[in-house]
Every structure is written in structure tokens, then in C-alpha cells.
Amino acid sequence: MIEVQSLTKRYGETVAVDDLSFEVRPGLVTGFLGPNGAGKSTTMRMILGLDHPTAGQALIDGRRYRTLSRPLREVGALIESDALHPGRSGRHHLRVAARSNGIPISRVDEVLEQVGLAAVAGRRVKSYSLGMRQRLGIAAALIGDPAVLLFDEPVNGLDVDGVRWVRHLVRDLAAESRTVLVSSHLMSEMQQTADHLLVIGRGRLIADASTDAVLAGSGSRAVRVRAADPETLLGSLARLASAEVERLDDGALLVSGVSPAEIGDAARHADVTLHELTEVSSSLEQAFLQLTADDLDYASPTGEPGTAR
């Protein structure tokens, strides 16, 4: 369980993280979503005690990270893939991790095997690809078998196999009732892995809800309509008060605010033949854009933190 309470980080005039409060619960994959520069990494660094909060605090199972005696046994984290010395081999990097937390050295080869780096473990990190470094970082996160895991942009630099592997890993870790927080700026990635979403923009919490709720909350599922005579259908749809119609480039109409049944009725009324009637579920990407657009509306022009949330 991670608890973030009124966490704030300022760098001079810039507010990187602005009064952020949330909880991350065990047994779920919680996605930490926001555009680059939204404050995801800064928040994670404060949770891990790397950066000092200007105000507020972050607790892991009720304790501040910086008081932990054996942090790797409680919290595993992948922060940046370059948080290692390129002159050290992968195996030695993990050996230092094990030594620092009183973890048996035998765990080093176990996690190397688990992340698929056993064959290159003796090579110095400078020869590793970005994906291999990510895997090494994940190995260090797993070495202490922790109940809480934080991954900052874990799929960066991974190939297709690697991405699939991280997805499964993250889901498996949550299924073992661990607390899992995964950050990403890729909404499609979160849509596939996260049960719960924390959406932040400009350092502030925009949404804290289940992935389904965020998707549904983006409102309107839209319906794609292709008709023999779109102009007549448009006139008919205009009589439905809640309908919003958008013309797509290929001549189809994207209708939101009404059900496919209502559109069908309207078409029959206007005597228009329908060639297509497809329900389009909105993507997390659209939901996200909508949420952050709202956020920008609330922010005052001077960049002062808005009062509306």
C-alpha cells in the first residue's frame, strides 16, 4: 500500500508536483498516466526518498522510504534505466543490490534468469541495449521479492516480446496481491495492463478511478454511421436533441449522445438506407485528451494552480 499525502515539489517558481494525494492498493495494477513532464517521475522519486518533497509526504505501508533498513525486501522499483554504472557487469550490479540489503547472493542468478539476462550477465552494462538495461533494472526491483513495486515507463526501449513480457509480469505481480504502480505516457499501454488509473497533468491529479470508469466517463460511446444519403440522415438526426454529429473524412458520420437504435429509427423515419452502423468504444487516449483538456481549462492563465478540480 502506497499513500501519497498532499505531496508537492517546487523547483524555484516551477511547480512539478502540486498537492498530490492518492493511494495505491495491493492486488491491482495501478497505472500512473500523464504526458511527459506531468510530474510522474518526480512523484515516484519522492515516494522512493530520492527527492525531498517541498510539502506533504509519501508512505509505504505507513513508513517513509528513507527510514527503511532493507528497502529492497519491501519495495522494488525501476526508475530510470540509466541508474547504473556502465562499467559494472549486470551480475555485479545485482550483487551490490543483494549485499546492500542482506539478500542471499543466490537470488542474483535467479532474477537474471527470470528477466532473461543470464547469458549476458558477465558483460559490462555499457554493452547493453536500452531494453537489456530495462530488464536489469526490473531484475533489481524483483531481487528482494518485495510486496510493493514501482515501474517508471517500464516498456521504454523494449521490443515487442519485451513489451508483452512486462505486461504479463506486471499482471502476475498484481495477481500475487502485490501493490503495483506503473507509469506511462502511453495510454494504449495502460489500457491493456492497468486495473486502476491515476491520471495527472501539470503535477495535479485529474482522475483517480478504475480504468473502465475512466473509459466510460469519457462519456459518450460513439456510433459510426454510413448512409446512402447522409444529408437527409443529418436532417433527421438534427431532431434528436442529444445527438452530436461529426463528419468523418471518408464520408461516414460519427454520432454520439444517442444509441444505435435511435439512429436506426431516425434513418427509417427519413427513409435512408444505412450501409454501416458500428458502435465505437472510445479509447483511453480520447478519454485522456478530454481529461487533460478540461484540466487546461481550469488552470488560470497565469499558471497559478487552479482552484477547480
Partner 1 sequence: MTTGSLGSNESTFTVFRRAVTAEWTRLWTLRSTWYSLLAAAGLMLFVGGAAGIGHTGTDPAPIWEPAQIAIVPGQFAFLLVVLLAVTGEYSTGAIRSTLQWVPRRGILLVARTLVPVAFVTVCAVVVSAATGLVAWAFVGESAEVVAGDIVTSLGRIGLVVAFGGLLTAGIALTLRSTAGTLTVIFLLMFVLVVALGNSGVSWLTAISEHLPGRAIVVIVADQGALSTKTIATVMVGWSAAALSAGGWSLIRRDAT
Nearer to partner 1, 87 or 301 (CB): 87
CB 198, min distance to partner 1, A: 21
Q: What are the backbone dihedrals phi and psi of residue 182, each rounded to the nearest 5 degrees, phi first?
A: -125, 125
Using a CB cutoff of 8 Å and minimum separation of 24, what contacts does 126-129 make? Answer: 126/86, 126/87, 128/90, 129/157
Q: What is the Cα–Cα distance from 132 to 155, expressed in whole angstroms?
A: 11
Block residue for cell numbers 450501409:
275
Using CB under 8 A as the binding rule, whether residue 112 contacts partner 1 is answered as: no
Given the complex with partner 1, which of 15 and 215 has the nearer CB atom?
15
CB of 1 to partner 1, least distance (A): 8
- In whole angstroms, give the CA distance from residue 251 to residue 86: 55
CB count within 10 Å of CB 249 equals 5
Cβ nearer to partner 1, comparing 50 with 254: 50
Contact call for residue 39 and partner 1 (CB under 8 A): no
DSSP code for 208: E
Name the one range near partner 1 by CB under 8 A: 70-78, 194-202, 213-221, 223-231.
70-78
Which of 65, 29, 74 minimizes the C-alpha distance to 47? 65
Residue 230 C-beta: closest distance to partner 1, Å: 57
Contact range with partner 1 by CB under 8 A, out of 19-27, 86-94, 188-196, 283-291? 86-94
Q: ∠158-287-2 over CA atoms, to 5°?
A: 65
Check residue 49 for interaction with partner 1 (CB under 8 A): yes
Q: Which of 8, 19, 92, 114 binds partner 1 (CB under 8 A)?
A: 92
Q: Are 139 and 98 in contact (CB under 8 A)?
A: no
Rounded to the nearest 5°, which phi and psi values hold at 131?
Answer: -60, -40
CB of 3 to partner 1, least distance (A): 12
Nearer to partner 1, 49 or 230 (CB): 49
Selected binder of partner 1 within 14, 52, 249, 307 (CB under 8 A): 52
Closest CA to 182 of 196, 201, 202, 161: 196
47 or 291: whose CB is closer to partner 1? Answer: 47
What residues does 75 pair with on adjacent strands? 148
Cβ at position 99, least distance to partner 1 in Å: 4
Q: Which residue, 11 or 298, has its beta carbon nearer to partner 1?
A: 11
Closer residue to partner 1 in complex, CB, 61/208: 61
- 127-156 residues near partner 1, rule: CB under 8 A: 140
Task: Give start and end residues of each alpha helix (H) in the chain.
Answer: 40-47, 90-100, 106-115, 130-142, 160-175, 187-193, 211-217, 230-237, 260-270, 284-298
- Distance between CA atoms of residues 185 and 190, nearest Å: 9
With binding defined as CB under 8 A, does residue 109 bind partner 1? no
Give min distance, CB of 78 to partner 1, in A: 10
Smallest separation (angstroms) from partner 1 to the CB of 196: 21
| Sites of contact with partner 1 (CB under 8 A) | 45, 48-52, 61-63, 65-72, 77, 79-80, 82-89, 92-93, 95-97, 99-102, 140
